[in-house]
Amino acid sequence: MPAGARGARSRRRPSPVVLLLGVAVLVAAAVGAGYLVRTAGSSDAAAPVATSTSPSSSAAPSPAPSPTVPPPPPPPLAGRTVVLDPGHNRDNGQHPAQIGRQVDAGGFTKQCNTTGTATNSGVAEATVNWELALALRQRLEAAGARVVLTRDADAGWGPCIDERAAVANREGADLLLSLHADGSAASAHGFHVIAPGMLPGWTDDIAAESQRAAVAVRDALVAGGLTPATYLGSAGLDERTDLGTLNRSDVPAVMLEAGNLRHAGDAALLTSGEGQARVADALSAAVTQFLSRSR
């Protein structure tokens, strides 16, 4: 081969240095353009990225459960029925024939009803009994009791003594409380509570519980600052077998003579709103105490 031809061919073959420089330029250009070239199976291949399932550290924590608030307890007389018997009626005196007829009072007869007494200034006992019953009803209902009255107004006549007991029996009462005020000598003073005595066939099933109710009423009235009677009974308690309202009752029954309307002090107490409130407060406490222990 001519020498000139060999020289021309050797000039067309790039030297190894030039080749290396060219590769370096290409790599630098690739890096500058943001490309990363990896060979398959190379040891520095990118590892797969695991996806986290844990909540973000900036997420709000779940609210704590609200504390359970227990329901309020039921009122003390919930589910109880009390029958209040405001004694007599304002117009009984205008109906002598009706109130004079005889009724069964527990194995014997008595007249249907009476007129009751009055203060020296003419306030009828029937009205005092009615106002006290209304004040007491309000308190007992606030304590959860169902309250039934044996008459629905301070007007008209009756009902008769046997019917007053029958109201409590029909209503399935837990207690019958008959409200009265006495009319004795002007010097006689104080209240007394009457429980039915033992009358076989009539009161033998209620006598013991009625006695317990009478004691509860007496104790609450004393605690309320009222004075037991100075003229009858013993320490504010009495027992009788001649009262048809008590004898005909099939549920525990007591009768309150809240004071002597012929005594100036007792009359002032029982005809004033403040005095009636004192008596009603004490009676409400007595009924609650009696029925709470009867559950």
In a domain, 124, yes or no: yes
In a domain, 30, yes or no: no
pLDDT of residue 4: 43
| CATH number of the domain where residue 191 is located | 3.40.630.40
Digit-coded pLDDT (tens) for 134-151: 999 999 999 999 999 999
Count of CB atoms within 10 A of residue 212's CB? 16
58-76 burial, b at 16+ Cβ within 10 Å, e below that, comes to: eeeeeeeeeeeeeeeeeee
In a domain, 200, yes or no: yes
Owning domain of residue 96: 82-292
In a domain, 52, yes or no: no
Digit-coded pLDDT (tens) for 184-199: 999 999 999 999 999 9
- Give the active site residue among 125, 163, 257, 274: 257
In a domain, 39, yes or no: no
In a domain, 236, yes or no: yes
pLDDT of residue 40: 40
Question: What residues contact 56, with CB distance under 8 A and at least 6 apart?
Answer: none
Report the C-alpha gap between 76 and 293 in whole angstroms. 11
pTM comes to 0.77
**C-beta of residue 117 within 8 angstroms of C-beta of residue 181:** yes
Digit-coded pLDDT (tens) for 237-262: 999 999 999 999 999 999 999 999 99
Mean pLDDT over the full length of the chain:
86
Edge-to-edge strands, sheet with 253-260: 146-149, 81-86, 175-182, 253-260, 192-196, 237-240
When pLDDT is cut at 50, 70 and 90, the band that residue 295 belongs to is low
Give the residue-averaged pLDDT of 63-81. Answer: 88
- Answer yes or no: is pLDDT of 165 > 50: yes
257 is catalytic: yes
pLDDT of residue 65: 73
Digit-coded pLDDT (tens) for 85-112: 999 999 999 999 999 999 999 999 999 9
Q: Which of 14-28, 47-61, 183-197, 235-249 has the lowest mean pLDDT?
A: 14-28
When pLDDT is cut at 50, 70 and 90, the band that residue 70 belongs to is confident
When pLDDT is cut at 50, 70 and 90, the band that residue 169 belongs to is very high
- Answer yes or no: is pLDDT of 1 > 50: no
pLDDT of residue 38: 43
CA 16 from chain centre, in angstroms, equals 105
Report the C-alpha gap between 159 and 164 in whole angstroms. 6
DSSP state letters, the chain:
--HHHHHHHHHHSPPHHHHHHHHHHHHHHHHHTT-----TT-TTPPPPPPPP-SPPTTSPPPPPPPPPPPPPPPPTTTT-EEEEEE-S-TTGGG-HHHHHSEEESSSSEEES-----B-TT--BHHHHHHHHHHHHHHHHHHTT-EEEES-SSSSS----HHHHHHHHHHHT-SEEEEEEEE---TT---BEEEEE---TTTTTTTHHHHHHHHHHHHHHHHHTTPPBPSSSSBTTEEEES--HHHHT-SS-EEEEEEEETTSHHHHHHHHSHHHHHHHHHHHHHHHHHHHHTT-
- Answer yes or no: is pLDDT of 171 > 90: yes
In a domain, 74, yes or no: no
pLDDT of residue 84: 98
In a domain, 17, yes or no: no
- Answer yes or no: is pLDDT of 41 > 60: no
How many domains does the chain contain in total?
1
